[in-house]
Chains A and B, each alone.
Chain A
Amino acid sequence: MSNQAPTPLVLGTQSFESRLILGTGKFSSVDTMIKAVNASKTQLVTVALKRFNKDRAEDDLFAPLSSLPSVTIMPNTSGARTAEEAFNAALLGRELTGSAFVKVEIHPNPHHLMPDPIETHEACKRLVKENFIVMPYMPADPVLAKRLEDLGCASVMPLGSAIGSGQGLSTQALLELIIRDSSIPVIVDAGLRAPSEAAAAMELGCDAVLVNSAIAVAANPSAMAEAFAGAVDVGLNARHAGLMSRHTRAQPSSPLTSFLSDTPQS
């Protein structure tokens, strides 16, 4: 409805006012990343797990992110190539952060990083049973989306285009089908380059967007984070305001409804 009050994004048991989720990779420094997180007003960030290396102790994100009280940490399984690896990564992530959220990402092919639908489905099945709030990164496939919903995932996160490609919503037609059929939140993950694309995703009917590279590699990450936050709001507002019709009001020469009488039948 056009006069709708803003409704929160509900993921599992938790509600979020912000509909922008941030990835924390590729930033030039932890400090730059934290500033961008603050500027974006995000309430959910995803982080990766890596083998501990004492020489890179300054890379640790647990301490700086834990100091942000309004931000929920969502460990991801990046680096996993199988369901088994993703499952272990998720358990480790929960052990480390105490967060029930997990972003399942399994991309075995290092050239294009496309998610493996079969391993993703298997990992989600196991993680739902372990009471995780499961958020799978997935190909923009409408059938897979319903299969993951059936498992009990908290959202689906189809890709807008390949990770880091900045090609925007190249999967738009498929995203529309996913959005139409889904009963759980649909979050576009990967591929966004410009805030206008985030707005377009929200106008289309997405419930949130996840952005990383576009903010991390911007000349001014904090300013770009703020721009994305604004774009997400704009897109959502536009959708609630009701977009105008695309088709025209042209009337055919022989009307389709001329067979109708005006008298009510009794």
Chain B
Amino acid sequence: MTTEAPPDWVQADPWLELAEHADDHDVDRALGQNHHTEDDFAALISPSASTRLEELALRAKSLTQQNFGNTISLFAPLYLSDYCSAGCIYCGFSSDLDKPRRRLDLAEARRELEAMKNKGFDEILLLTGDRTKFADADYLIEHTAQAAEVVSHVSVETFSMTTPEYESLAAAGCTSIALYQETYNPEVFKTTHRWGPKSNYNYRIEAPARALEAGIRSISLGVLLGLANPFSDALSTFRHARALQSRYWRSGIAISFPRIRPQLGGFSADTPVSDRQLAQIIFAFRICLPEASLTLSTREPAAYRDGLAGVGINKMSISSKTTVGGYAEPTDATGQFEISDERDIPTFCAALRERNLEPVFKSWDAVYR
């Protein structure tokens, strides 16, 4: 089945005109609301609002403080496997890349988890490539169950699953799923996701709803900024978040803001997103989705991350390895993408404290699950 247009509920087109041509009054109106519509979001990502970035930042900071206090939640990714069946043009795990592949068995993963736990992490994001026989749903369920014994909060970022698979994952102790549409533009999606299960646009776009239906407590959405028109993709992400929030109102929503980074394969962004543009998009999300958790990874440079900590952003990865393993034992394997902020935990925490932000390693206990 070919998809010509995104589904209505994430369609951004009706708001693109406003996103390009909003005037000062539209921005005023958007800043004045308590409840924000697509119109407001569009106005806040417009060129007109880009001249008022300081004002947006002030609002974003005050809303971040209101909802998260003076804290930044920290987590670390653990890549379990880099076997992959998909051909994502921008990714260092793409199945056509000739590189040694590896997966952690349970004992290896436990050593990594213990090493991470010893560094202070209590929230860990488990990652794999697209579905393969080496890392399938059962593999993830097993590893989730083990990770839940070691840390309080286990998130999973992997291929889209069926509802029963998500149910098993939730039962194993997974509390949140990260699942990025990468782009909501079906044509760009098709050309950048060349083969493999992930190339099914519709199956992927429905996956967050399946996860929440299955009892996963929170979902993290996002696009890979730089792949397609970032403003259109931001609008679609906003609409997707809203639709999920309305249907699954007991669930948490998070948004991540990955920008295309250099990686093996040499892909570069068609529509690069500048520092100012990314900041503006983050501010717009904070203003329009005040309680959503907004995440910025180590893809971004240290100074940029420091600048946005507490000003929109409330959650960050640190001390990240994007290789399979690497916490317990050093590795020289190539990762999914290059990280930019390479500071260790004490240095990063000191930088946060200097900005009056308290690093938080643990957000909650899964006592009642």
Interface size on A, residues (CB 8 A): 29
List of B residues within 8 angstroms of A245 by Cβ: 28-29, 31-32
> CA–CA, A1 to B25, complex, Å?
12
**Contact, CB under 8 Å: B304 / A259:** yes
> Which of A179-187, A191-199, A224-232 lies at the binding interface?
A179-187
Q: Closest approach, in angstroms, between the C-beta of B151 and any C-beta of chain A? A: 30
CB contacts under 8 Å to A, within B242-297, are: 245-246, 249, 259, 268-269, 272-277, 279
> Which of A23-31, A37-45, A162-170, A247-255 lies at the binding interface?
A247-255
Q: Closest approach, in angstroms, between the C-beta of B219 and any C-beta of chain A? A: 17
> CA–CA, A2 to B33, complex, Å?
14
Q: Closest approach, in angstroms, between the C-beta of B301 and any C-beta of chain A? A: 9
Interface of B is mostly: helix
The closest CB in chain A to the CB of B312 belongs to A256
Asked whether A244 is an interface residue with its Cβ less than 8 Å from the other chain, the reply is yes
Asked whether A262 is an interface residue with its Cβ less than 8 Å from the other chain, the reply is yes
List of B residues within 8 angstroms of A2 by Cβ: 25-26, 29
Interface of A is mostly: loop
Q: Mark A194-209, 1 if CB is under 8 A from B, else 0.
A: 0000000000010000
Asked whether B138 is an interface residue with its Cβ less than 8 Å from the other chain, the reply is no
> CA–CA, A263 to B18, complex, Å?
24
**Contact, CB under 8 Å: A259 / B277:** no
Asked whether A257 is an interface residue with its Cβ less than 8 Å from the other chain, the reply is yes
The closest CB in chain B to the CB of A146 belongs to B249
> CA–CA, A252 to B55, complex, Å?
10
**Contact, CB under 8 Å: A205 / B272:** no
**Contact, CB under 8 Å: A256 / B35:** no
Partner of B275, one of A252, A255, A261: A261
Asked whether A51 is an interface residue with its Cβ less than 8 Å from the other chain, the reply is no
Partner of A176, one of B35, B55, B276, B306: B35
The closest CB in chain A to the CB of B303 belongs to A259
**Contact, CB under 8 Å: B269 / A176:** no
> CA–CA, A5 to B26, complex, Å?
17
Asked whether B58 is an interface residue with its Cβ less than 8 Å from the other chain, the reply is yes
- Given A179-B35, A257-B57, 8 new contacts (CB under 8 A): A180-B35, A181-B245, A251-B58, A259-B307, A260-B307, A262-B276, A264-B273, A264-B277
Closest 7 CB pairs of A and B: A245-B32, A259-B307, A242-B29, A264-B274, A256-B57, A180-B35, A183-B246
